């Protein structure tokens, strides 16, 4: 006697089991994939810093000096903001020929490196340059000027760190109309492997004003060249456990720190080694053209990537001792970095085959600019010009 069995189809219960299995596989593999992608972004970020290190050394070989943080051209009168940059240009502009972006430099040079960095017409400063942007950073494509994730080291200097009239103990010189702080590699007495040249500093976060990517304003107590005093004053603006600014703390919002790659004032172009990485930043007054504490930061979990003067790159933990962080910021502090002080400093991660593939994927252009005709109001523009003119005045003239 033969028995015939009907073939059973693929039922709803089978489908649910398959979906549940796929969900479990996804839940297990997604974190690993996200970690791999972040590792690839870190590696790309370190590669960007290596390119900037090579650019610095090429500039030094060509001009016998490191590029200053702030420099530029000056034309008196009403045409100054359009026919020059009023000595407010970033040293990054002088690095563009060494970053395969000579066209940007040439375009700026034919206009006497004008206009001022906050003006969008002509579009000299509206470009985004790939090696200047960390792939983990918050790129703002709606900003009328280009973005930047990497800043010059100001050291522990706070007083006047935006001005030609004061000297900085880091590597960020300022060339003004009447005074210039020129820094050469031979001036780095603490050792080129013991001194930061550049670091990451996040572009900013418009969605969350309490994020440390932004900058607190009107923190007059931080106006001190004693890093201990400035450190404490800056942290009073924030909750150390939550790693957020205190509710009600006034924040600079007119322009975020990474939204003007060509602006050489330290709010846009510098970082200080006063507060340890991924901590708060603070301006002494309410103008982002002024002096302040500008802290290294990144979206890499628990660390920032840094560039040494010798051109090597490293990763620095958030937990680094503040006194060690201060030492790495000064070029001639006569404070050698001991072996045990390097425990929070590591070299970049080795790249796996998967990481290389993800880096290739990340090289797809995410920086195509949106046409955005919105810019500063006339009042905001004139306020910027007045600030620059004020910075140019000699603060010591009355004492002489």
| Predicted local distance difference test score (pLDDT) of residue 331 | 94
Backbone torsions φ then ψ of 71, nearest 5 degrees:
-160, -165
| Residues 213-234: tens digit of each pLDDT | 999 999 999 999 899 999 999 9
The pLDDT value recorded for residue 358 is 43
Q: How many CB atoms lie within 10 A of CB 192?
A: 15
Confidence of residue 144 (pLDDT cuts 50, 70, 90): confident
Reported confidence tier of residue 385, pLDDT bands at 50, 70, 90: confident
Residue 364 has pLDDT above 50, yes or no: no
Q: Is residue 129 scored above 80 in pLDDT?
A: yes
Integer angstrom CA distances of residue 295 from 94, 203, 258, 345:
24, 12, 13, 17
Could you tell me the residue ranges of all domains in the chain? 36-120+132-352
Phi, psi values for residue 175, rounded to 5°: -105, 110
pLDDT for 104: 94
Whole-number Cα distances in Å, 316 to 58, 200, 256: 25, 11, 24
pLDDT of 83 over the 80 cut: yes
> Percentage of the chain with pLDDT > 70?
81
Reported confidence tier of residue 132, pLDDT bands at 50, 70, 90: very high
What's the chain's length in residues? Answer: 400
State the average pLDDT for the chain.
85
Structure token pair of residue 79: 């045409």
Tell me how far apart the terminal alpha carbons of the chain are, to the nearest angstrom.
Answer: 120
> CA-to-CA distance for 93 and 298, rounded, in angstroms?
23
Location of structure tokens 């579009």: 123
| CA quadruple 191, 196, 198, 201: dihedral, nearest 10 | 180
CA distance to 189, 192, 263, 280, per residue, from 328 (Å):
12, 10, 25, 19
Least confident of 66-80, 235-249, 344-358: 344-358
Q: Calculate mean pLDDT across residues 88-107.
A: 95
For 274, the token pair is 């006063």
Residue 10 banded pLDDT, cuts 50, 70, 90: low
Q: Give the integer Cα–Cα distance in Å for 30 and 36.
A: 10
Q: Which residue has the higher pLDDT, 379 or 356?
A: 379
Residue 324, token pair as written in the block:
């060690």
pLDDT score recorded for residue 87: 95
Asked which of 98-107, 210-219, 297-306, 388-397 is least confident by mean pLDDT, the reply is 388-397
Q: How sure is the predictor about 31, in pLDDT bands with cuts at 50, 70 and 90?
A: low
Most confidently modeled range among 36-50, 127-141, 195-209: 195-209
* DSSP label at residue 222: G
User: In a 3-state reduction of DSSP, which class is residue 41?
Assistant: helix
Measured distance CA(293)–CA(395) in Å, rounded: 20
What's the average model confidence in pLDDT over 45-63? 95
State the average pLDDT over residues 372-399: 71
Nearest CA-CA partner of 89 in 183, 175, 215, 149: 175
Chain centroid offset of residue 126 CA:
17
Comparing CA positions, the residue from 192, 231, 225, 182 lying closest to residue 328 is 192
- State the Cα–Cα distance between residues 29 and 8, nearest whole angstrom: 33
Tokens of 287: 């103008």
What per-residue confidence (pLDDT) applies to 353? 47
User: pLDDT at position 36, please?
Assistant: 73
Bridge partners (DSSP) listed for residue 238: 245
pLDDT in tens, 168-211: 999 999 998 888 899 999 999 999 999 999 999 999 999 999 99
Between CA 124 and CA 109 the distance in angstroms is: 10
Q: Is 120 exposed, middle or buried, given 0-12, 13-18 or 19+ CB atoms closer than 10 A?
A: middle
């Amino acid at each position: 006697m033969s028995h015939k069995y009907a073939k059973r189809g693929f039922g709803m219960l089978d489908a649910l089991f398959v979906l549940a299995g796929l969900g479990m596989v996804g839940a297990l593999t997604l974190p690993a994939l996200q970690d791999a992608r972040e590792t690839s972004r870190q590696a790309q970020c370190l590669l960007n810093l290596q390119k900037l290190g090579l650019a610095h050394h090429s500039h030094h070989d060509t001009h016998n000096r490191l590029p200053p943080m702030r420099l530029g051209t000056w034309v008196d009168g009403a045409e100054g903001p359009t026919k020059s940059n009023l000595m407010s240009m970033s040293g990054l502009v002088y690095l563009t020929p060494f970053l395969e972006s000579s066209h940007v430099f040439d375009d700026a040079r034919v206009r006497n490196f004008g206009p001022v960095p906050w003006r969008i017409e002509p579009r000299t400063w509206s470009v985004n340059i790939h090696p200047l942007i960390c792939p983990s950073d918050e790129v703002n494509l709606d900003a009328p000027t280009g973005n930047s994730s990497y800043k010059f080291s100001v050291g522990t200097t706070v007083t006047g760190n935006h001005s030609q009239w004061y000297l900085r103990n880091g590597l960020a010189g300022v060339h003004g109309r009447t005074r210039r702080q020129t820094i050469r590699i031979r001036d780095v007495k603490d050792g080129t492997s013991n001194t930061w040249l550049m670091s990451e500093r996040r572009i900013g976060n418009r969605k969350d004003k309490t994020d440390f990517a932004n900058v607190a304003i009107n923190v007059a107590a931080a106006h001190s060249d004693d890093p201990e005093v400035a450190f404490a004053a800056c942290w009073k603006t924030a909750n150390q456990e939550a790693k957020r600014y205190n509710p009600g703390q006034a924040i600079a919002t007119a322009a975020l720190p990474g939204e003007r790659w060509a602006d050489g004032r330290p709010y846009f172009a510098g970082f200080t080694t006063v507060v340890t990485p991924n901590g708060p930043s603070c301006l002494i007054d309410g103008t982002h053209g002024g002096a302040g504490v500008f802290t290294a930061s990144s979206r890499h979990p628990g660390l920032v990537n840094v560039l040494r003067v010798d051109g090597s790159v490293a990763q620095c933990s958030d937990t680094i001792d503040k006194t060690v962080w201060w030492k790495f910021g000064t070029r001639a502090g006569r404070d050698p970095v001991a072996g045990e002080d390097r425990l929070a400093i590591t070299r970049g991660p080795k790249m796996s085959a998967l990481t290389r593939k993800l880096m290739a994927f990340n090289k797809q252009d995410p920086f195509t600019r949106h046409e955005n005709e919105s810019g500063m109001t006339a009042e905001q523009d004139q306020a910027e010009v007045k600030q620059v003119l004020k910075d140019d005045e000699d603060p010591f003239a009355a004492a002489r």
